[in-house]
Structure formats: C-alpha cells, structure tokens
Amino acid sequence: MNTFVQYKVPDGKLLQLEKLTTGQYKITGDFFCHPENIIESLESALTGTNPEQEITNIFAKPENQIIGFDTESLLNLYNQLQ
C-alpha cells in the first residue's frame, strides 16, 4: 500500500504527504505556513472524523496564510493514501 505521495502544485510548491505506521500523517514540502504551527493542525485534521471540512476550516481562517498549496491539493493527496 502506498504510504507516500507528492505533487507539484501548479504555480505553487511541492507538497508531500506521508502516512505513518501510527496512522497519523506528515505533511512536508517547500511551502510556507504562517503561523508555522498550522501544519500540525492540518496533520491532525487528516485523522479527524471529517478531514475535508476540517482542512477547509483551517484554510478559511483569516489569520492563517498557507502559501504554496491549497485545500484541493492536500485532499487529493490524502485520498490517494486511502
């Protein structure tokens, strides 16, 4: 079973998603997140009951600026690992 996928977001950055043996996810790549600790929120949302909604909510918060990938890119990679 595939545990690592990546995608170069058009006009964005390289986004990588890894499914760990613990069932948790790790998001890596050469993107930017402001504040940086959003990344843990995104990773946690992927193991939640409704990842799509939770990821969308995180992106929608005005205080969060995620540069280099979007909701769709992340959820596409997530779906490839299911």
Partner 1 sequence: MDWRLIKTQTHSAAMNMALDEACLEAIAKGESAPTIRFYRWQPSAISIGYFQNLEREVDLDECKRQGVDFVRRQTGGGAVFHSFEGELTYSIIAPVSIFPLNIIDSYQEICGYLVDGFNKLGISTSFKPINDIITFDGKKISGNAQLRRQGVLLQHGTILTTVDVKKMFSLLKVPDEKIRDKMIQTVEERVTSIQAINPNLTFAQIEAAFIESFTANKTHSLGDFTDQELAAASGLAQTKYSTVTWNFLR
Q: Is 16 in the site for partner 1 (CB under 8 A)?
A: yes
At CA 76, angle to CA 53 and CA 1, rounded to 5? 115
Closest listed residue to residue 80, CA positions, set 9, 18, 8: 18
Q: Is 25 in the site for partner 1 (CB under 8 A)?
A: no
Among positions 41-60, residues that touch partner 1 (CB under 8 A) are none
Residue with tokens 């600790």: 37
* Segment contacting partner 1 by CB under 8 A, of 25-33, 47-55, 71-79: 25-33
CA–CA dist 62, 51 (Å, integer):
19
Q: Which is nearer to partner 1, 50 or 65 (CB)?
A: 65
Among 17, 19, 25, 27, interactor with partner 1 by CB under 8 A: 27
Structure tokens at 57: 């909510």
Give me the residues that bind partner 1 (CB under 8 A), please: 6-8, 12-14, 16, 26-36, 39, 65, 67-68
